[in-house]
């Protein structure tokens, strides 16, 4: 199997965001669901009501880049002892109380980062993307291209690192020459991340946060055609097509 061109748009569906009963928006009191697929999985309310303070703080810090993650987590645990979270209104009120006023003035709505973190946790967005990117790269033949639209720094960071790894030589720094299997197998098509211009943002304000990265496959190694031979670069250990060459050895 192969794909000559692959486009990933990692943005959340605007139609789902605009459905108030899904719980994505923090400006309307609605059930704390946040599942993309409402037929399965835990809800945002489940996360708030069952995770301990350490787990909550970790999610808020890692997925929301929230500076006040510990304070918010402790406040959530105290609040749910009185009444479990069911809708977004009480959570937004709590965040208004916990996040310092100075930070609210400079950093935007105090619920923005917490709601992002909960949505990512509920839908396992980052772990899915970490698996999908290397699998997609494995489907590209030589000359095949991939383009990725990311909408926040966490998913863009995964994209950046994944593409950069393929566009960089893997030769150990102490080798006197670069073996063919160590040569880059991707060519970056964008200089850094490209962003929407003012005209596009005027037509579509939600494009303001988009980041575009693209690359082209230049050779088949070290990944074989087909997703089966693709190693996830975020997992430790050697992949099925990797071997170690000691200095002085040849293939």
What's the CATH code of the domain at 173?
A: 3.40.50.150
Contacts 24+ apart (CB under 8 A), 130-135: 130/158, 130/232, 130/234, 131/232, 132/8, 133/8, 133/158, 133/159, 133/162, 134/162, 134/223, 134/230, 134/231, 134/232, 134/233, 135/227, 135/230
Q: Is residue 241 included in any domain, yes or no?
A: no
In this structure, the answer to whether residues 216 and 175 fall within a common structural domain is yes
- In this structure, what CATH number is given to the domain that contains residue 100? 1.10.150.170
Give the per-residue pLDDT at 21: 80
Q: Is residue 19 included in any domain, yes or no?
A: no
In this structure, the answer to whether residues 77 and 57 fall within a common structural domain is yes
Last residue of a domain, one of 92, 123, 154: 123
Dihedral of the CA atoms 162, 164, 170, 175 (nearest 10)? -150
In this structure, the answer to whether residues 79 and 134 fall within a common structural domain is no
Q: Is residue 12 included in any domain, yes or no?
A: no
Give the per-residue pLDDT at 68: 96
Give the per-residue pLDDT at 222: 57
Mean pLDDT by 10 residues, the chain (251 residues): 94 78 86 91 96 97 95 97 95 95 84 94 93 95 96 93 91 77 90 93 91 94 43 40 36 34
Give me the count of residues in the chain. Answer: 251
In this structure, the answer to whether residues 42 and 76 fall within a common structural domain is yes
In this structure, the answer to whether residues 136 and 113 fall within a common structural domain is no
Q: Is residue 190 included in any domain, yes or no?
A: yes
Q: Is residue 2 included in any domain, yes or no?
A: no
In this structure, the answer to whether residues 89 and 35 fall within a common structural domain is yes
In this structure, the answer to whether residues 224 and 158 fall within a common structural domain is yes
Q: Is residue 62 included in any domain, yes or no?
A: yes
Specify the pTM.
0.75
In this structure, the answer to whether residues 156 and 95 fall within a common structural domain is no
Structural domain span for residue 51: 31-123
Q: Is residue 13 included in any domain, yes or no?
A: no
In this structure, the answer to whether residues 132 and 206 fall within a common structural domain is yes
Last residue of a domain, one of 123, 151, 184: 123
35-50 per-residue burial string, b: 16 or more CB within 10 A, e: under 16: bbeeeeeebbbbbbbe
In this structure, the answer to whether residues 192 and 112 fall within a common structural domain is no
In this structure, the answer to whether residues 57 and 140 fall within a common structural domain is no
Is 161 within 8 Å of 134 (Cβ atoms)? no
In this structure, the answer to whether residues 224 and 143 fall within a common structural domain is yes
How many structural domains is the chain composed of? 2
Structure tokens at 154: 């966490």
d(CA 16, CA 10): 14
Last residue of a domain, one of 76, 97, 123: 123
Q: Is residue 40 included in any domain, yes or no?
A: yes
Distances (CA, A) of 22 to 6, 27, 30, 110: 30, 13, 7, 20
Give the per-residue pLDDT at 59: 97
| Residue keyed to tokens 């599942």 | 35
The CA-based angle 230-3-193, given to 5 degrees, is 80
Neighbours of 200 (CB within 10 A): 13
């Amino acid at each position: 199997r192969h794909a000559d061109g692959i486009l990933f748009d990692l943005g959340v569906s605007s139609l789902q965001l605009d459905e108030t009963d899904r719980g994505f928006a923090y400006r309307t009191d609605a059930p704390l669901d946040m599942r993309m697929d409402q037929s399965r999985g835990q809800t945002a309310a489940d996360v708030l009501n069952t995770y301990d303070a350490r787990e909550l703080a970790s999610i808020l810090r890692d997925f929301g880049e929230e500076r006040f993650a510990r304070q918010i987590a402790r406040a959530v645990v105290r609040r749910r002892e009185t009444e479990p979270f069911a809708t977004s209104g009480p959570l937004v009120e709590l965040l208004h109380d916990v996040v310092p006023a100075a930070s609210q003035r400079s950093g935007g709505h105090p619920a923005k980062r917490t709601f992002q973190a909960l949505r990512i946790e509920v839908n396992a967005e980052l772990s899915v993307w970490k698996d999908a990117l290397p699998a997609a790269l494995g489907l590209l033949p030589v000359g095949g291209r991939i383009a990725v639209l990311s909408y926040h720094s966490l998913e863009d960071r995964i994209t950046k690192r994944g593409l950069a790894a393929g566009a960089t030589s893997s030769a150990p720094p102490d080798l006197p020459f670069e073996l063919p299997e160590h040569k880059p197998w991707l060519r970056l098509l964008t200089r850094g991340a490209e962003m929407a211009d003012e005209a596009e943002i005027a037509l579509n304000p939600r494009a303001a946060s988009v980041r575009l990265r693209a690359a082209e496959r230049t050779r088949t190694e070290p990944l074989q055609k087909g997703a089966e031979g693709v190693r996830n670069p975020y997992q430790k250990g050697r992949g099925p097509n990797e071997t170690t060459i000691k200095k002085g050895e040849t293939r």
